[in-house]
A and B are shown apart, each in its own frame.
Chain A
Amino acid sequence: MSRCPSEEEILALLGAEPLPAWTDHLSGCPSCRENVRAISALQLEAKALWHAARIPTASEMLQKARMRDLHQVECRLVRPITLMENLCVWTSSVLALILTVTASSSAPGRLIVILPVGCTSAAVLLMWVRGCRILTRALRGDTSSPVARGH
């Protein structure tokens, strides 16, 4: 079937308004008639889908967007704390390893000095890690954390 030069013009008008001006043309042009039938059916299908659409309300979407915004802010805030926490864990592990190696290769007299220093450093680092965790939980809104409870 050959392509009609009026085809695009007719299809552009379709759905927006009736086509009385084109009635004569449509009755004599099988190509346009077929196009109009196909695109009209597509538009009917679109309307059927429009009615069947399952969408949340605008208020629900605004609420979800707010939640996502808060989550993004939380991620940005928590990132440096998590970094610090990881750094502490690695530092304490390396420190513990160094102290173990030093203590095993030192004279027993020096062990009395090294052990308390090592234990104190490890305790301070562990407390720092614990502090970071509490702060992270508080920023995430975990109510079981001491900071969030107001302690």
Chain B
Amino acid sequence: MSNDEFRAFYEEHARWLWAYVAKLSGCQSTADDIVQEAFLRMMTANLPINMSQEHRKHYLYKVATNLTRRAAARHHEDIAELKIEAPAEHHDDILVVRQAMGRMRRLESGILWLAYVEKLSHREIGQILGYRENSVRPLLHRAKGKLLRLLRGDSTAANGSLNR
């Protein structure tokens, strides 16, 4: 990957990766560290020269997901609510979804994000999160159901069965 290719790749994906890790970890400083570490690992790893941009992106998300899991296990953290100002025009919608996702498990947040923000296929989500393609559909369905229940204000939904 040449420097110019890297610059273009970084400009396209770095902010989205930061948003994903911030959502997953609930901590901005953790996201700062993990995004840098994931990119450094991608740059210093002996990846095939002809590796496609899509595969590089998946590699990056996989590394970031694993680093986030490890950081969370080390600090025994739950997902916290992010202290980021929501834009005024969608303030209430964002706050509600933020509160709901703050009560979800890490895997559930991750799977929803990859499916509906990154718009990845079930196979790609499986590769990133370490699940088989067939397992992703029910996991995604359950995570979405839980998000809807939490948005409706069902407090018992937070005790779902998906593992972190």
Say if the beta carbon of B142 comes within 8 Å of chain A.
no
Q: Evaluate whether A53 and B147 lie within 8 angstroms (CB atoms) in the complex, with A41-B93, A62-B3 already known.
A: no
Say if the beta carbon of A69 comes within 8 Å of chain B.
yes
Say if the beta carbon of B87 comes within 8 Å of chain A.
yes
Contact assessment for B36 and A64 in the assembled complex, using a CB-CB cutoff below 8 Å? yes
| Shortest Cβ gap from B83 to chain A (Å) | 10
Give chain A residues whose Cβ lies under 8 Å from the Cβ of B119: 12, 15-16
Contact assessment for B15 and A50 in the assembled complex, using a CB-CB cutoff below 8 Å? yes
Say if the beta carbon of B131 comes within 8 Å of chain A.
no
Q: Which residue of A lies closest to B10 (CB)?
A: A58
Q: Which residue of A lies closest to B93 (CB)?
A: A41
From B39-47, B62-70, B72-80, B153-161, the one touching the partner chain is B39-47
Give chain A residues whose Cβ lies under 8 Å from the Cβ of B35: 55
B: contact size bracket: 35 or more
Contact assessment for A54 and B116 in the assembled complex, using a CB-CB cutoff below 8 Å? no
Complex partner residue of A48 from B36, B44, B84, B148, CB under 8 angstroms: B84
From A17-25, A31-39, A78-86, A133-141, the one touching the partner chain is A31-39
Say if the beta carbon of A42 comes within 8 Å of chain B.
yes
A-contact 0/1 string along B8-29, CB 8 Å cutoff: 0011001110110011000010
Say if the beta carbon of B55 comes within 8 Å of chain A.
no
Say if the beta carbon of A113 comes within 8 Å of chain B.
no
Give chain B residues whose Cβ lies under 8 Å from the Cβ of A37: 151
What residues make up the interface of A, taking CB atoms closer than 8 Å to B?
Answer: 11-12, 14-16, 34-35, 37-56, 58-59, 61-62, 64-65, 68-69, 72
7 more CB-based (< 8 A) A-B contacts, given A41-B94, A42-B101, A48-B85:
A40-B93, A43-B116, A44-B87, A53-B31, A55-B18, A58-B10, A62-B7
